[in-house]
Amino acid sequence: MIAIVDYGVGNIFSLYSSFRHIGADARLSSDPGEIRRADKIVLPGVGAFGDAAQKLRDSGLADVVSEEAEKGKPLLGICLGMQLLFEKSFEYGEHKGLGLIPGRVVSMEPVVPEGYKVPHIGWNALHFPKDRPKSPIFRNIREGDFVYFVHTYYGTDCGESVIATTEYGPELTAAVAAGSVYGLQFHPEKSGETGMKILKAFCDMEG
């Protein structure tokens, strides 16, 4: 069973529907016991980092997610859920993340060229590091496949954790991984067949 963490941030029904579409046993849950019993965990999120981080902590689920990830249970953060995996964010101040992925979350406005719209909204190609094997979460897709982004902030200083980038002026972090923890800046549930292939690869991982 895959537990999609429901902590009151964003519309997560489309993500739930996507997992059901590919035949996964997915459940929306705010129950710590059910999340601990799950084979895999998905951390979604939209909105502002600080508010989401506070809601996750107030719900008591931040510790549950971190503890299960540290045991080696596969964890997938999506969009803001990915950003929450980092050590800290500088969105409207400085806010502490879960610290499961090294790095910081910062605004893309200072780094994208003049004329590029921020937030970055739309379809962009994924590029994989050429100096190491492709991450297993991308085993079903190809270099240059397109996925759908909606974001103003991005992960940086994440080094070897970067498993995919996308070009929006400069190369920006599109996905990260550390052990069994994965993060996608884009929305797989809005990325058509490519997104479904990525979710299927996550479902097929051994816990």
Confidence of residue 144 (pLDDT cuts 50, 70, 90): very high
Domain that residue 129 falls in: 2-203
pLDDT at 143 > cutoff 80: yes
> Domains in the chain: how many in total?
1
Residue 187 designated active-site: yes
Mean pLDDT value of segment 85-101: 97
Query: How wide is the angle at C-alpha 58 spanned by C-alphas 98 and 157, nearest 5°?
Result: 20
Q: At residue 57, what are phi and psi to the nearest 5 degrees?
A: -70, -45
Q: pLDDT tens for residues 24-83?
A: 999 999 999 999 999 999 999 988 999 999 999 999 999 999 999 999 999 999 999 999
CA terminus-to-terminus distance, the chain: 11
Q: In the structure encoding, which two tokens stand for residue 12, read together? A: 């997560």
Give 167's pLDDT tier (boundaries 50, 70, 90).
Answer: very high
Q: What are phi and psi of 166, to 5 degrees?
A: -140, 150
Burial 109-137, CB ≥16 within 10 A → b, else e: eeebeeeeeeebeeebebebeeeeeebeb
The C-alpha angle with vertex 99 and arms to 38 and 144, in degrees rounded to 5, equals: 80
E strands, the chain, are 2-5, 26-29, 40-43, 75-78, 88-89, 95-96, 104-107, 120-125, 146-151, 153-156, 162-167, 171-178, 181-184
- 79 given a catalytic annotation: yes
- pLDDT computed for residue 8 by the predictor: 86
The mean pLDDT of 104-130, rounded to a whole number, is: 96
The one catalytic residue among 95, 120, 187, 203? 187
The residue from 68, 120, 158, 189 that is catalytic is 189
CATH number of the CATH domain containing 159: 3.40.50.880
* Beta-bridge partners for 150: 121
Q: Tell me how far apart the alpha carbons of residues 207 and 75 are, in angstroms, rounded to a whole number.
A: 10
* Secondary structure class of 129 (helix, strand, coil): coil
Is 40 strand, coil or helix?
A: strand
DSSP 141: S
**Among the options 68, 79, 95, 203, which is catalytic?**
79
